[in-house]
C-alpha cells in the first residue's frame, strides 16, 4: 500500500519535472522542490541522529537543472538548551565520502549540534565512479579518464554540476532549512578548501572555523621544494642520521629510479605508495628500514609493503570521476619542466594520477585567490605532514602566530589517532 501511494504521489509531482529516486532505496521521492525531506531517526557513530534527504539542483547555475538527492545527517547536542552555533563537518577528498566519523569528536556534542552533508559526486544519488580507474595498470591512463567523463555525459550527468562551488550551495541550503543564523566549520584536508570558499562567499553566516591539515586555496598545489624539506626533516628524525639533505634525497631518488626500471610495476602508483607510507608516523620506521634494505640491494621488504598497498588501493572505494571533476574546477596542475629531486617525483606522480589531463574549456577554470577569513579561525598543522606541509600554509596565508599550532611528530592521519586526545582538547577550548 505504501509503495502504491508513493507511485501516485510521484505521478502527481513529476508532471512538470524529472523524477527523483532515493539514492539508497531506489524509491521515487514524492517532492519536486529543493529542500530537506524524509526525516528518519537512526544511529551515526553510536549517537542518535536525524537522517534527511537534500533535494538540490545538479547544477545551481542552470535554471531548471534536474534535482539530485544527497544524504544529510544531524546529531543534536546533548544540551537541548545550547546557544552555541552548530558545527558543519567537512572531511578530506575529493573522491571520498563526507559521511565519515573521524572528525566527529563526541565532546563537541555537549554544546553543539553537528551536521554532516554528503559530498555531491560521491554520496547520494550520483556517485561518479569509474570502474576502469581502479586497475593498477590503468590508474594514470588519460584516455580512460576521458572515456570515464564521456560516459557520465552519455548518462545525462551534468559534469559542470560537480564542483566546489556547487558544494557551497548545498551547505547554504541546509543552513537555511535549519534556520541557523550562523554556523561553524570543522574541516580536514580537502574539506578545508571547501570551508575557505564558503567562509569567503558567505562570511556573514560563519562564526568559527577550525582547519586540520589545511591547504590554502591560493596555493593548492604541492610545492616540491617544501616537500623536499619535509622529507629530509622526517627521515633525519626517524633514521637518526647525520646525512645532509642532498644525501637523504639521493637515497630516496635511488630507490625510485631502481624501481622505475622494473617493467612489472606502475611507477606513478609506486611513487604514490611511498607518499602514502609517510601519511602516518606509525608506518614510517618500517618503511625507512625497507629503504635501507633496498639501497643495499634487498627489495623483499619494500615489495611486500608495496603489494599490501596495491591490495588496499584496488579495494578502495574512491570515486575517481569525482576527483577528476573537482580538480578541473580549480587550477591544480603543476608546471614543473624538469624532474630533479625526490619532491619533484612525488609531485609529478600525484598530479599524474589525481589530475589527469582532462581539461574543460579555459573559461570553465577558476584560479581562485582567497585569503581565508581569519577572524575566529584556528589551524592545526602537523610537523611531519607531507600532504599538507605546515610551511606551505604559513607562506600562503601568513596567519597570525596565535592562530595556529604545529603538533610535533604528526603526519597527515595522526590527528585522528596518535594525536586525537590533544586535538580533542584544542577543539573543545576553541569552539
Q: How far is CA 3 from the centre of its chain?
A: 37
DSSP H helices, 1-117, are 2-13
Q: Tell which wins on pLDDT, 267 or 157.
A: 157
- Say if residues 387 and 210 touch (Cβ distance below 8 Å): no
CB atoms within 10 A of CB 21: 14
Q: Which is nearest to 215 in space by CA: 336, 426, 405, 390?
A: 390
Separation CA 22–CA 56 (nearest Å): 13
Say which range, 173-177, 319-323, 392-396, has the weakest mean pLDDT.
Answer: 319-323
Mean pLDDT to the nearest integer, 6-34 = 54
333 — phi, psi (to 5°)?
-90, 120
pLDDT at 97: 92
pLDDT of residue 372: 65
Compare 20 and 309 and report the one with higher pLDDT.
Answer: 309
Reduce the DSSP state of residue 67 to 3 states and report it: strand
User: Predicted confidence band at 336 (pLDDT cuts at 50, 70, 90)?
Assistant: very low
**293 confidence band (pLDDT: 50, 70, 90):** confident
3-state secondary structure (DSSP) of residue 54: strand
| Residues in CB range of 336: below 8 A, 6 or more apart | 224, 344, 347, 348
Residue 88 pairs in a beta bridge with 115, 185
Q: Which of 18-22, 59-63, 102-106, 405-409 has the lowest mean pLDDT?
A: 18-22
Ordered DSSP codes for 72-127: EEEE--S-TT--SPPEEEE-S-SSS-S--STT--GGGGGT--EEEEPPTBTSSS-B
Contact 381, 406 (CB under 8 A): yes
Query: Model confidence over 107-140: pLDDT tens digits?
Result: 899 999 999 999 999 999 898 887 654 443 444 4
- The rounded distance, in Å, linking the Cα atoms of 123 and 99 is 8
User: Where are any strands of DSSP class E within 145-267?
Assistant: 183-188, 206-212
Instruction: State the pLDDT confidence band at 215, using cuts at 50, 70 and 90.
Output: confident
Burial of 370 (0-12, 13-18, 19+ CB in 10 A): middle
Mean pLDDT (whole number) for 180-193: 95
Confidence band for 351, pLDDT divided at 50, 70 and 90: low
Residue 41 pLDDT more than 80? yes
User: Residues with Cβ < 8 Å from 304, sequence gap 6 or more?
Assistant: none
Query: Phi/psi class of residue 46: alpha, beta or left (left: φ > 0; alpha: ψ in -120 to 50)?
Result: left
C-alpha to C-alpha distance for 94 and 13, rounded to whole angstroms? 34
Q: Return the domain boundaries, the chain.
A: 1-31, 33-126+162-216+370-430, 224-363
Name which residue leads in pLDDT, 309 or 260: 309
Structure confidence by residue, pLDDT tens digits, 82-105:
889 999 999 998 888 999 888 888
pTM assigned to the model: 0.86
- The mean predicted confidence, pLDDT, of the chain is 80
DSSP 134: S
Task: For the chain, give the percent of residues with pLDDT over 70.
Answer: 75
Query: What is the per-residue pLDDT for 333?
Result: 37
The CA distance from 235 to 291, in Å, is: 11
In sequence order, what are the residues at sequence separation of 6 or more whose Cβ sits closer than 8 angstroms to the Cβ of residue 214? Answer: 187, 189, 192, 193, 196, 379, 381, 388, 393
List strands edge to edge, sheet with 47-57: 35-44, 47-57, 67-75, 114-117, 87-90, 183-188, 206-212, 377-382, 404-407
**Class of the CATH domain delimited by 33-126+162-216+370-430:** alpha beta
Residue 173 has pLDDT above 80, yes or no: yes
pLDDT band at residue 329 using 50, 70 and 90 as cut-offs: low
**What gap in Å lies between CA 111 and CA 430, rounded to an integer?**
12
| Distance (Å, whole) CA 59 – CA 65 | 6
Q: How confident is the model at residue 401 (pLDDT cuts 50, 70, 90)?
A: low
> Distance between CA atoms of 68 and 19, rounded to whole angstroms?
9
- Retrieve residue 115's grid coordinates: 551536521
Give burial (CB, 10 Å; 0-12/13-18/19+) of 387.
buried
pLDDT confidence bin for 327, thresholds 50/70/90:
low
Q: How many residues does the chain have?
A: 431
In percent, the amount of the chain with pLDDT more than 90 equals 37
Q: Is the pLDDT of residue 378 over 60?
A: yes
Amino acid at each position: 500500500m505504501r509503495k502504491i501511494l508513493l507511485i501516485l504521489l510521484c505521478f502527481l509531482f513529476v508532471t512538470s519535472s524529472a523524477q527523483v529516486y532515493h539514492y539508497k532505496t531506489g524509491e521515487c521521492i514524492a517532492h519536486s522542490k529543493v529542500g530537506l525531506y524524509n526525516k528518519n531517526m537512526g544511529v551515526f557513530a553510536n549517537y542518535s541522529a536525524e537522517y534527511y534527504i537534500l533535494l538540490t539542483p545538479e547544477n545551481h547555475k542552470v535554471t531548471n537543472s534536474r534535482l539530485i538527492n544527497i544524504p544529510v545527517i544531524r546529531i543534536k547536542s546533548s544540551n537541548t538548551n545550547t546557544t552555541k552555533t552548530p558545527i558543519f563537518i567537512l572531511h578530506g577528498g575529493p573522491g571520498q565520502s563526507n559521511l565519515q566519523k573521524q572528525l566527529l569528536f563526541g565532546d563537541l556534542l555537549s554544546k553543539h549540534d553537528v551536521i554532516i552533508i554528503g559530498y555531491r559526486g560521491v554520496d547520494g544519488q550520483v556517485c561518479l565512479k569509474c570502474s576502469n580507474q581502479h586497475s593498477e595498470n590503468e590508474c594514470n591512463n588519460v584516455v580512460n579518464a576521458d572515456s570515464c567523463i564521456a560516459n557520465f555525459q552519455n548518462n545525462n550527468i551534468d559534469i559542470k554540476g560537480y564542483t566546489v562551488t556547487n558544494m557551497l550551495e548545498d551547505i547554504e541550503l541546509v543552513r537555511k532549512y535549519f534556520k541557523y543564523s550562523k554556523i561553524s566549520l570543522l574541516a580536514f584536508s580537502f574539506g578545508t578548501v571547501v570551508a575557505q570558499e564558503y567562509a569567503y562567499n558567505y562570511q556573514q553566516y560563519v562564526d568559527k572555523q577550525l582547519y586540520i591539515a589545511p591547504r590554502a586555496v591560493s596555493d593548492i598545489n604541492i610545492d616540491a621544494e617544501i616537500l623536499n624539506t619535509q622529507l629530509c626533516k622526517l627521515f633525519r628524525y626517524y633514521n637518526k642520521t647525520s646525512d645532509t639533505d642532498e644525501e637523504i634525497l639521493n637515497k630516496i631518488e635511488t630507490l625510485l629510479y631502481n624501481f622505475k626500471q622494473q617493467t612489472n610495476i606502475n611507477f606513478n602508483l609506486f611513487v604514490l605508495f611511498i607518499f602514502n607510507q609517510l601519511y602516518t608516523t606509525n608506518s614510517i620506521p618500517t618503511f625507512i628500514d625497507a629503504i635501507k634494505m633496498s639501497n643495499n640491494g634487498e627489495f623483499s621488504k619494500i615489495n611486500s609493503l608495496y603489494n599490501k598497498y596495491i591490495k588496499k588501493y584496488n579495494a578502495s572505494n574512491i570515486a575517481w570521476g569525482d576527483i577528476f571533476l573537482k580538480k578541473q574546477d580549480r587550477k591544480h596542475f603543476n608546471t614543473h619542466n624538469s624532474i630533479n629531486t625526490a619532491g619533484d617525483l612525488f609531485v609529478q606522480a600525484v598530479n599524474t594520477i589525481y589530475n589527469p589531463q582532462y581539461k574543460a574549456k579555459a573559461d570553465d577554470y577558476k584560479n581562485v585567490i582567497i585569503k581565508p577569513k581569519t577572524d575566529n579561525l584556528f589551524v592545526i598543522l602537523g610537523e611531519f605532514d607531507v600532504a599538507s606541509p605546515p610551511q606551505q600554509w604559513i607562506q600562503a596565508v601568513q596567519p597570525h602566530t596565535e592562530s595556529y599550532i604545529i603538533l610535533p611528530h604528526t603526519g597527515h592521519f595522526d590527528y585522528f589517532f596518535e594525536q586525537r586526545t590533544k586535538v580533542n582538547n584544542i577543539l573543545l577550548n576553541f569552539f
